[in-house]
Amino acid sequence: MSDYMSDEEQLEKLKNWWDANGTSLIVGLVLAVAGIVGWRWYDGARNSEAQAASDLYASFVATEGEAQAAMAVKIDAEIDGTSYQIFSLFHRAQSAVDEGDVAAGEAYLSQVIAIDASDLLSDVARVRLARLLQQQDKSEAALTALSGVKGGGFRAQVLELKGDIHLVRDERELAHEAYVAAAAELNEGEQMPLLEMKVADTANANEG
């Protein structure tokens, strides 16, 4: 007897294997192809969305007045929650403050804090909000805003601002502690003459 199967036997065995496995093989192949096509479509869609968001923000920055206000509404409606919306909110906050509408500036910065999940831009917003609040003699609210800053890169700036707030409140000892802590956060060789003056000016805070 031959060690090899006849053509008919090989064909019959292949037919039996196909009956048992052919459907799952086709389904798997279809799913794999669909996955590749789907990912390419998703990736392309994301790139298109990012470009559209960038273009929308560029149009916002390039306009002024009522046209810019209309673009802001469009941004809030179409790219809500994106970094471009946050950048537009910073822009709107600065414009509002420049025009004397501090309340609107506070509202825009608070909106940034509510949106940003990365904490980086929300930390920037908290520091700017604290400065606005300080300028309005809302020292307690300013300190509360600063307490929410999480990024270590802002520590020197936050501590110096806390010192300024304590100084305005005539809490010179607390101001000095904050200034000293801020100076300790500076990088080696970094010079901040104004901060050094603040440290020296409050050095006698606990005398007498």
Percent of residues, the chain, with pLDDT higher than 70: 74
Number of domains within the chain: 1
Residue type, 110: S
Q: Is residue 132 part of a domain?
A: no
Q: Is residue 146 part of a domain?
A: no
Nearest Cα to Cα of residue 130 among 176, 95, 103, 165: 165
Q: Is residue 169 part of a domain?
A: yes
**What residues contact 134, with CB distance under 8 A and at least 6 apart?**
142, 161, 164, 165, 168
**pLDDT of res. 13:** 59
80: tokens are 């809500």
Q: Is residue 160 part of a domain?
A: yes
Q: Is residue 191 part of a domain?
A: yes
Rounded alpha-carbon distances, angstroms, from residue 160 to 131, 178, 179, 196: 11, 6, 5, 11
Length of the chain equals 208
pLDDT digits (tens, 9 = 90+) for 57-82: 888 889 888 998 999 999 899 988 88
Q: Is residue 196 part of a domain?
A: yes
pLDDT digits (tens, 9 = 90+) for 87-131: 999 999 999 999 999 999 999 999 999 987 678 889 999 999 999
**What residues contact 5, with CB distance under 8 A and at least 6 apart?**
13
Domain assignment of residue 194, given as a range: 152-208
| pTM of model > 0.85 | no
Q: Is residue 164 part of a domain?
A: yes
3-state helix, strand, coil in the chain (%, to 5): 80, 0, 20
The residue written with tokens 């790219």 in the block is 79
